[in-house]
Structure 1
Amino acid sequence: MAKGYWVARVDVSDAEAYKKYVAANAEPFAQFGARFLVRAGQFENPEGTSRSRNVVIEFPSYEAALACYNAPGYQAAIELRRAAAESDLVIVEGYDGPQPGES
């Protein structure tokens, strides 16, 4: 089964208020098996547009990624985030097929 991913780009406008969002999302993330792969590290933006923070979160499945987003606990966290940041989020299914150089 392919994993699921959240790919987010975020501009935080109120760091103190954003901390409340981070605290509120911990429970739904744990409930749905979320694992941070990228969390606001150093980056280059050679093409297109960007925001100041980039986040990639892995879930055990695409279904878990969708369920987490739609869970009441995460929906409550979103309201905290909206007051503190602007963001873009894509929920995408992982790829389990052949890789370059593999037969």
Structure 2
Amino acid sequence: MPAAYMIVQIKITREEGWPEYRQKVAELFARHGGRHLVRGGPVEVLEGSYDGRRLVIFEFPSMDVIRSVWDSPDYAEVKKLREGAGELDVWAVPGV
């Protein structure tokens, strides 16, 4: 089964809620075979521009797994921890 990737760009607007969210989302994603590949850190721009947002990349077993976790009641509960505390762009991309 080919892998799939969840790519997240985050601008934290209020730190409250994020530490617990990070812990719980990592645990939830791990239960579904997800793992961090990139978790913040410096970005080296080789071409183009970088807007300064935090970059996080997860690997999952498949697009179906990403969709099922994203749409799950478990994630809906975890997501409440960061509501109103940041702006996110989240993409799911199939591997090759």
In the aligned structure 1, how far is the partner of 2:75 from the partner of 2:91? 15
Cα distance between partner residues in 2 of 1:10 and 1:51: 9
Match of 1:20 in 2: 20
Q: Give yes or no for contact 2:20–2:81 (8 Å, CA) kept in 1.
A: yes
- Partner letter of residue 88 of structure 2? S
1:63 matched residue in structure 2: 64
Q: 2:8 aligns to what SS in structure 1?
A: strand
Name the aligned partner's letter for residue 63 of structure 1.
D
Counterpart position of 1:76: 77
How many correspondences in the alignment? 95
Query: Does the residue aligned with 1:56 lie in a helix, a strand or coil?
Result: strand
1:35 is displaced (CA, Å) by 0.7
Paired residue type of 1:25: V
Structure number, greater radius of gyration = 1
Q: Which runs of 5+ in 2 are unaligned?
A: none
- Alignment correspondent of 2:48: 47
Bigger CA drift: 62-71 or 33-42? 62-71
Structure 1-normalised TM-score?
A: 0.79
TM-score, normalised with respect to structure 2 = 0.84
Alignment-derived partner of residue 4 in structure 1: 4
In the alignment, the residues of structure 1 paired with residue 26 and residue 57 of structure 2 have an alpha-carbon distance, to the nearest angstrom, of: 15
